[in-house]
A and B are shown apart, each in its own frame.
Chain A
Amino acid sequence: MDFSVLLVEDDEHIRQALGLALGDEGFAVTDAVSGEAALELLSADGFDVVLLDLMLPGVDGLEVCRTLRAGGDLPIIIVTARTDAADVIAGLEAGADDYVTKPLVASVLAARIRALLRRTGTGRDDEVLRRGDLDIRPDVGTVHRDGVQVHLTSTEFRLLVELAAAAGRIVTREQLLRRVWGYDYFGDTRLLDVHIRRLRRKVERDPDDPTLIVTVRGSGYRMDR
């Protein structure tokens, strides 16, 4: 697997060290020093994932994130030295798929990138999951509501499929984190919370009063048939 990674980081030493280490993990790494440079590189296609520092000179990470998200669903992993809840949540709300906090080790980051780029495995060919007024087709990765396509990022889509495939059973947060983000990690459920919020904004008629994706307090989420 030779994924192509764009590393947006203003600290030269980090850029070099992380570039070398990710290269060792088998990724093709391209550097960008600033938000402007990143957006310019991204206007041409060809990256599989973006590693984005939030604190950048000029156009900051959140802005890059929003711009990217507006233009497509290229997976974004935020790499941040700020661990405050507000920063992490802002990054995820801006459309990031995952986040890691410095100091991160390349091997951990590599595992996360692979998990993010993994094809979704749930669902058989031609199967259509019908939940409420949503038609979900896992094989082609589309969601329609009343015949109109709802645009989801691939992470949002995998999350929706995991919930829909449980067919009314409760899916715990840990299961969702493991299945969608692909690795055992625990504790930080902000990642999941924000993604659920993003998903609800797209698929629920009233995101403040969700009827499709229901929170089961203390255990997880449920999506009724």
Chain B
Amino acid sequence: MARFSLRWRVAVALGFGSLLLTSALALVVWNLTTGYMLRQREQSAVRQAEVNARLVDESLHSGSNGLDELLTGLTTGPDSTILLLRPGEVLTSGREVDVDALPRPVLDVGGAPSRGRLVVGGVSVLVVTLPIPSAQGVYVELVPLVQLERTFGFLNAALVMGVLCSGLLGLGLGSWAGRRALRPLSELTRAASRIAGGDLRARLPEQTDPDLAHLATTFNATAAALQRRVLKDARFAGDVSHELRSPLTTMVNAAEVLHRRRAEVPGTAGKALDLLTSEVDRFARMVVDLLEISRDQQVDDAPPEPIDLAALVRNVVSARPGPSVPVEVTASPQVLGDRRRLDRVVSNLLDNAERHAGGAVRVAVLSRKGLAGDGLARLEVDDAGPGVPADLRDRIFDRFDRGARAGSRGADTGSGLGLALVAQHVQRHRGAAWVEGRPGGGARFVVEIPETTA
């Protein structure tokens, strides 16, 4: 699992902080409020009970018989219960309660004055117990706290809601602030990836924030310097190209004239002439390949077009002189790309097979599913030569790497850039090129390029 992004970490921290703070506040408010309200209620209940107990005490003292009426007539809350316990007798008044369900200490006749909270019959009540000295009895008053508890419940709900809301608010605020604070960063990312993608004109907008202005200025200055340098390089590459191509034209044509008149130059001079003319050809090819590979970075291609790879391969194979290799086609994958480059890929692979392995023995165009389920157009060029040792397989796509042939250049070893150009062109099509062993001996050069559905 990837770590949370900075934005979310900020949001969570802010949300959590806000939650913590408001819960602490809510806790304090809860404790103070409920404590105060409960105390108030208790005090008033106790005061009331004391008055009532004194009345009962006086009534018993004076031996009056209207005790029941007295109990009924006492001032209590609407749902309160009054119990008068005397040895061997329990008098109740008010809301009905099951006396046996009351815990013993409450009914302890000899007890001292006390107060407490109980749950009786599913209702939370305040119990006030007062001794009646004249009758060795106890006056018990049960005051239900339904009203109070309802208020507490409401308060509780309000506080919890408040805490949750503030937590969510903090989360939202954190997310917003994070995005706001990171916006210049995402602008920077966009600009940087445009530059990485080759668009050197990408710049950051002017920043008014002093914290960001410096970053923007530095970034823009770097991008401008890079652009200047790339332009300069391109101009230089163009100049080099022109300056090299002109004398080469003279050389290859003069060499052709000499080659045609080879018979007129006998002996040692003739052999030297052979060397010269063949080397001039190789040199010309090398320079052309080198110019192509080095100018490749800044060339603006034609817009990519859908290409039928099988048709392209057939065309290249059929255009080559000499015995043609059969092209095995099991699918007709379409790729999005540049014809010139793909032609070059195919012909360079065929050239390579010809130079080092006596020619291609099989050319195949297939289509296969990639790891992500996307289609891959696959080109295979097989030869029946000596193959490429495993430890050289990566290297042979490097520039001027002649693999096992290093040091033993024959008459026609090519420019040493053919496979490097293959790798470069294929990479430009977001594909991959490699070499593997061919079943039955020889080498198999494989090119895979993503298919297009368009």
Contact = CB atoms under 8 A, between A and B. Distances in A.
A20 B261 CA distance: 12
B319 A185 contact: yes
A61 to B, nearest CB: 14
A14 B245 CA distance: 10
A4 B245 CA distance: 26
Given A14-B249, A24-B260, A186-B319, 17 more contacts: A13-B246, A13-B247, A14-B246, A17-B249, A17-B257, A20-B257, A21-B257, A24-B257, A81-B242, A85-B300, A102-B249, A103-B284, A103-B288, A172-B311, A174-B315, A186-B343, A187-B341
A9 to B, nearest CB: 9
A101 B242 CA distance: 10
B253 A18 contact: yes
Interface stretch (A30-38, A64-72, A104-112, A140-148): A104-112
B238 interface: yes
A218 B339 CA distance: 10
Interface string A11-23: 1011011101100
Interface in B223-264: 238, 241-242, 245-254, 256-257, 260
A186 B377 CA distance: 20
A103 B249 contact: yes
Contact of A187 (B257, B306, B308, B343): B343
Interface string A140-163: 000000000000000000000000
Contacts of B246: 11, 13-14, 81, 102
Nearest to A21: B253
* Top 4 A-B residue pairs of the complex, sorted by shortest distance between their CB atoms: A184-B319, A187-B343, A103-B248, A187-B340
A81 B302 contact: no
Interface residues of B, number: 40
A184 B238 CA distance: 28
A218 B306 contact: yes
Interface residues of A, number: 35
Contacts of B339: 186-189
A52 to B, nearest CB: 14
Contacts, number: 101
Interface of A: 11, 13-14, 16-18, 20-21, 24, 55, 81-85, 101-107, 172, 174, 184-190, 193, 217-219
A72 B318 CA distance: 36
Contact of B253 (A17, A172, A188, A219): A17
Given A21-B256, A85-B300, A102 B245 contact: yes
Contacts of A14: 246, 249-250, 253
A65 B69 CA distance: 131
A193 B338 CA distance: 14
Interface in B289-313: 291, 295, 299-302, 305-308, 311
23 contacts: A13-B247, A14-B246, A14-B253, A16-B250, A17-B251, A17-B253, A21-B254, A21-B256, A55-B242, A83-B295, A85-B300, A102-B246, A102-B249, A103-B252, A106-B253, A184-B318, A184-B319, A185-B319, A186-B316, A187-B340, A189-B302, A218-B306, A219-B311
Contact of A85 (B250, B302, B305): B302
A81 B241 contact: yes
B437 to A, nearest CB: 30
B249 A18 contact: yes
B307 A218 contact: yes
Nearest to B284: A103
B262 to A, nearest CB: 12
Contacts of B344: 187
